[in-house]
Amino acid sequence: MKSIPITLIEGDGIGPEIASVMKKVAQATQLSLVFEPALAGQAALEAYAELLPDRTLKQIKQNKVALKGPLTTPVGKGFRSINVLLRKTLKLFANVRPVRSIPQISPYQGVDLVIMRENTEDLYAGIEHEIAPGVVESIKVITRVASTRIAQYAFEYAMKNGRKRVTSIHKANIMKLSDGLFLECARKVSKAYPKIQYDELIVDNACMQLVSKPQQFDVLLLENLYGDIVSDLAAGLVGGLGLVPGANIGKKCAIFESVHGSAPDIAGQGKANPTAMILTFAMMLEYLGKGKVAKQVEAAVFKTLANKRFRTPDLGGRASTEELGEAVVRAL
């Protein structure tokens, strides 16, 4: 069997710990995967005096698939988000985050939705400047090309994965031109998919309904900023970011990432929850056409977490990072 090369960016803080556990789970699947290490962010800055070395970008482009742990981003100062830089540089236009309830753990049971977030523009384009002392302007960029592209991806995803409904989330009642254009594109695309129900919700109403009855939702289609906020809100419905996988998809390559923070306060203490990293690995397997094995990994994770003995402190348990990982390996 031909080996599949995967670029692995372990990340900062707890990243190396959860990546180590993920690699043991990967080995237990008996698939021919080769993890090729690469650096980005703080570790790359220390090693190469660059935040995103050309060698890392070249490796991702060559392998076409990467798996990434959390990278630290300074708040209000310092360097810009490397996550955003990776997405823009590699044109990873779709941020995909499945959110599913885990039995006996998630606050809300029966949740099974997918956040489909446009990944390249909106306020995250980072176009801002000071127009006068004490007055800063940020520019929101919405284009027909990017809006149509993410809408098409959302509907194609729905068709391929047996989803029934796509809901566009917006604020077009206030931002009539920018969000209006996003909706116009989604409506046009929806006409080509008559078997998929299409509807729209204003973002504040959508947030209220998500915490009232999240089970009603299927695929949520959002611009970049709304998608960032709503995806974290949705993660909270099922137990937090430590339980949710994520992916950034482009036409030529994809980066799969555990979307939680680097948690430097618990790094090296064996307290980190590796669930998101393991489920992200499973999501990557699905992308690689290894759907059967991906389902086995997910089932092993769910089976393991059903036992309180193997839950990490963030889930109310006492298990270490390694203990949870070893239990998943045994379940496989």
Q: Give the span between the Cα atoms of 258 and 296, in whole angstroms.
A: 19
Tell me the CB-side half-sphere exposure of residue 82, using CA atoms within 13 A. Answer: 27
Active site (catalytic) residues: 124, 171, 204, 228, 232
Distance CA 215, CA 213 (A): 5
Buried b (16+ CB within 10 A) or exposed e, 142-168: bbeebbbbbbbbbbebbeeeebeebbb
State how beta strands 4-9 and 135-138 pair.
unpaired
Angle between helices 291-305 and 275-287 (to 10 degrees): 160
As given in the structure block, the two tokens for residue 65 are 């698939």
Strands (E), 31-163: 33-37, 65-68, 94-100, 112-118, 128-132, 135-138
| Residue 61, SS3 per DSSP | helix
**DSSP string covering 209-262, please?**
HHHH-GGG--EEEE-HHHHHHHHHHHHHHTT-GGG---EEE-SS-EEEE--S--
